[in-house]
Amino acid sequence: MTINELQDEIIEEFSAFDDWMDKYALLIDLGNSLLPLEDKYKNPQNIIEGCQSRVWLNAELNDGIITYQGESDAVLVKGIVSLLIRVLSGHTPDEILNTELYFIDKIGLKEHLSPTRSNGLVAMVKQMKMFALAYKSVIS
């Protein structure tokens, strides 16, 4: 699936819920089922410090495809991390760099990515793109 198809799929899943608490319950489930990041990747280089919660992010390049792994100490943040990984992982650096992430806004979780929420997520999205940029230069 393309990145946008994945984004649309998530929008579809979340559209089943009107109530905020139901959306958050789904996010909590996603957060709880996110594979924990191996301890060796939880190093100071991979940490993205937010004011409220912390996010760790790692990325690997295999055969021109980027795989992301991430984790957070807050489960709601972890839920969003898992969504971001689902959307962006398994794609080429170019595909990732040319993506506009619209699903977070569409599923009503934009507030978590607003700069006023200092939870490290804005920095995480930026860092995901930075990894893509760095790996792009490795390939070319």
Could you tell me which residues come within 8 angstroms of residue 29 by beta carbon, excluding any fewer than 6 positions away?
A: 79
Exposed/middle/buried for 17, CB within 10 Å: 0-12, 13-18, 19+? middle
CA distance 91 to 122: 20
Per-residue string for binding with other proteins, 101-130, x by CB under 8 A? -----------x------x-----------
Residue 74 contacts other proteins per CB under 8 A:
yes
Exposed/middle/buried for 56, CB within 10 Å: 0-12, 13-18, 19+? buried
Closer CB to other proteins, residue 50 or residue 93? 50
CA distance 95 to 128: 12
Based on the residue annotation, tell me whether 88 is a catalytic residue of this protein. Answer: no
Per-residue string for binding with other proteins, 8-27, x by CB under 8 A? ------------xx--xx--
Residue 36 contacts other proteins per CB under 8 A:
no
Annotated active-site residue in 51, 62, 116, 140: 51
Interaction site with other proteins (CB under 8 A): 20-21, 24-25, 28, 51-54, 73-77, 112, 119
Q: Which residues are catalytic?
A: 51
